[in-house]
Chain A
Amino acid sequence: MTLHLVKLALGSIRSRRTRSWLTVIGVLIGVAAVVSLLSIGTGVERAVLQQFKDIGYDIIVITSGGAPTVAGGTSRSGMALGPGGVGTSGTTAPAGQTFDPTQIGQPGATSGATAASTAGTVSTEKLVRAVPGLVEAGNLGTRVVSVDGPAASGFLRLTTPSQSFLRAFPSILGGFKVESGALFTDTTKNEVIVGARSAATLGIKVGDVIPIDGERFTVVGILASSRAGVGAQPASPGAQTGASGVVAGAARAGGASFLTRGLTNTDDSLFVLAERASAVWGVRNTDTTTIVRMAKGADVGQVLSQITTELSAQGVRGTPTSVQQIAASIQGTLGMIATVLASIAAVAVVVGGVGMMNTMYTSVVERTREIGILKAIGARDGQVMALFLVDSGLMGLIGGVLGLAAGGLLSLFGTRLLGPALGVGSFVPVFGAPLILGVVAASFVIGALSGAWPAWRASRLNPVEALAAE
């Protein structure tokens, strides 16, 4: 009988085509909203977490001069370098007005710069010796240098990793993959490796010789564009509105780039070996970040507190932050935002359900005579009820499946727009089996539930009265 019920229900859905479609569309809109928000939310979460994973969950970042959150407020925007490249600061968002974490770690935008110079530099040897849970540690300095290229000239960030740092922590510099040319060969020569976008802006290629702060350096390599593209777009965060703005804010504020002070974005920087930089210019980094790798199975909380103790022992001001902990808290925050957004979208599903209830109620009234016929030829109350439940359940199911497809398309389009805006580069919405199955099952249940009351009424009709209906 079940199959016949389905056929009967399909027949009645078809017989009132326009109304059925309108009902289905009501469900469709709600489901599409839920699906797109959930899949985008999961996609953003996954993309952000991937950044952390790329850096490594065993990494602890020690930012000098206190918590990184102090940054942003005191930017000297006249000197700030826009992420877009050399000399373009005038066209980017004024860093002093809008809090933009991607600018942290960029020279001039960081008040920590002055703090760092007075705070001193962490002695990594002492640190590894003092804290049992550590495997290795390394310092990474940045400073601002003036550069002249064939196409443009201006100020750029110069990152100075040591050879051992590059061996131990390539993930901090986005893998440090050279696209053309080669890695550093010699600490005695003036060699520079250039980030992808800086190279393009300056108009330089491998083999060129460019002056950096008055010294002539040979370009030995140009890096591959960093995958995440953190801070790559000169989009103003203020331009985002509504839900996407919320997610964008969360992703930016909590992004891995924030933790590593933008170091993972290698696109807008020059790289000279630390050994060479101090030989040429002396030790005058504007900012130093210490990167530490934990031993497997070490207790994060314990390691962090031991690092803090050791930092004060060394007389250095710094804040250790664990990638693992930040990732967990970001995951929690993003999950919560996604849940809240999906709950709001779920209201649309409920509205769709009420629309369905209305349709089914009207349908019961319209089909009163048919119900009478069915009862006259021997249909039980339960069968009449089942017929209407299958009817509304089918409409719910159709709405759910179409909503799933619509939500999928919506989120595919949405991610194209959101990806760059969120600062997580390109990311894909995630459609897991639980989401798909859950949505399809839920939409059938919502349909059936909405039809339950009308169906119950239908099943209780007196056959004689029902047959007398026009």
Chain B
Amino acid sequence: MIAFQGVHKVYPLGETKVEALRGVSVEIPRGGMTAITGPSGSGKSTLLHLAGCLDAPTRGRVTCNGVDLGSLSSRGRADFRAQTVGFVFQKFNLVPNLTALRNVELPLLLRNEPTASARKKALSALAVVELTERGRHRPTKLSGGEQQRVAIARALVHDPEVILADEPTGNLDTETGRRILDLLRRLVAMNKTVVVVTHNAEIAADADTRIALRDGKVESLYQGNGGKR
């Protein structure tokens, strides 16, 4: 579904340049859960950002459903993020001065969805993550696990094809992390393509596809047949 063809990504870092990806060619299949693993600095997050059109490759092509993401305008990229993908971050990244419910509504409101239907969809997304009753609270009044669940609700509220999660359990304790993982599995069951960047062996083991990166290159690729191994 999302294909990388000879992708390089170079970041300027002061005087020097950091080569985060050095010729990655790999495809993330539709459906199921894909785990991107690897040590720090191996380019996991960069790959995720490219998949979500948050960033553009220095060289190479990233396509989603056959559309070259590099050919999109700034507005086209924003619309791609607004329609096709939903992001979940390690640091939750909720807007601090909005309530949980308003955070979840936000992607819809950015797409000019009428208030009433945005509210309805946001409430049902909160129901998926079992936080309906916490909708009126601001992020600071929520626990880490709750914040991450709000973030997941926000990522799925606009019914995207792909959920991109960057270390979603990285800031959570094991038990809470497990609940988040359960949630991600439920998203797979809802026919979402879930891509998770993770250090968590449990998540990686649970994935249908595993892409292991090292030094900006694909070290190993495991593609199962769906379901647990």
Contact = CB atoms under 8 A, between A and B. Distances in A.
Interface of A: 1, 3-4, 8, 11-12, 14-15, 369-370, 372-383, 462-464, 467
7 contacts: A4-B109, A14-B97, A374-B95, A376-B54, A377-B106, A377-B110, A464-B54
B93 A373 contact: yes
Interface in B137-189: 154, 158
B93 A380 contact: no
Contact of A381 (B78, B97, B158): B78
A464 B55 contact: yes
Contact of B154 (A11, A377, A381, A464): A377
Contact of B49 (A378, A379, A464): A464
B111 interface: yes
A378 B93 contact: no
Nearest to B87: A376
A377 B82 contact: yes
B205 interface: no
Given A15-B97, A463-B54, A381 B111 contact: no
A381 B112 CA distance: 15
Interface string B81-97: 11100110100011111
Given A376-B87, A377-B106, 14 more contacts: A8-B98, A11-B98, A369-B93, A373-B95, A374-B95, A375-B78, A377-B81, A377-B82, A378-B79, A378-B158, A462-B55, A464-B54, A464-B55, A467-B93
B38 interface: no
A270 B111 CA distance: 82
A376 B93 contact: yes
Contacts of B94: 373
A374 B81 contact: no
A216 to B, nearest CB: 87
B229 interface: no
A372 B94 CA distance: 11
A377 B54 contact: no
B228 interface: no
Most chain A beta-carbon contacts within 10 A, residue among B52, B94, B98, B154: B98
A378 B82 contact: yes
Contacts of A370: 95-96
Contacts of B107: 377-378
B140 to A, nearest CB: 11
A1 B112 contact: yes
A380 B49 contact: no
B93 A379 contact: no
Contacts of B75: 380-382
Contacts of A369: 93
Contacts of A376: 52, 54, 81, 87, 89, 93
Contacts of A373: 93-95
Contacts of A462: 55
A370 B91 CA distance: 12
| 8 closest residue pairs by CB, A with B | A378-B82, A15-B97, A380-B78, A11-B97, A378-B81, A377-B107, A4-B109, A373-B93
Contacts of B93: 369, 372-373, 376, 467
Question: Most chain-A Cβ atoms within 10 A of its Cβ — which of B109, B110, B112?
Answer: B110
Contacts of B110: 1, 374, 377-380, 383
B74 interface: yes
A379 B158 CA distance: 13
Contacts of B87: 376-377
A70 B52 CA distance: 86
Most central of A1, A373, A383 by chain B CB within 10 Å: A373
Given A380-B75, A464-B54, A12 B97 contact: yes
A145 B52 CA distance: 100
A470 to B, nearest CB: 10
Contact of A378 (B74, B89, B95, B111): B111
Contact of A1 (B109, B154, B158): B109
Interface string B37-78: 000000000000100101100000000000000000011001
A370 B98 CA distance: 11
Nearest to B155: A377
Interface in B96-110: 96-98, 106-107, 109-110
Contacts of A377: 81-82, 86-87, 106-107, 110, 154
A59 to B, nearest CB: 66
B159 to A, nearest CB: 13
Contacts of A382: 75
B81 A375 contact: yes
Contacts of A14: 97
Contacts of A4: 109, 115
B46 to A, nearest CB: 8
Contacts of B97: 11-12, 14-15
A162 B94 CA distance: 88
B76 to A, nearest CB: 10
Contacts of B79: 378, 380
Of A1, A373, A377, A467, most B-chain CB atoms within 10 Å: A377
B206 to A, nearest CB: 25
Interface in B117-153: none
A464 B45 CA distance: 10
A379 to B, nearest CB: 5
A363 to B, nearest CB: 12
Contacts of B49: 464
Given A14-B97, A369-B93, A378 B83 contact: yes
Nearest to B81: A378
Nearest to B46: A464
A377 to B, nearest CB: 4
Contacts of A463: 54-55
Contacts of A383: 110
A114 B83 CA distance: 95
A185 B96 CA distance: 86
B195 to A, nearest CB: 14
Nearest to A377: B107
A15 B111 CA distance: 25
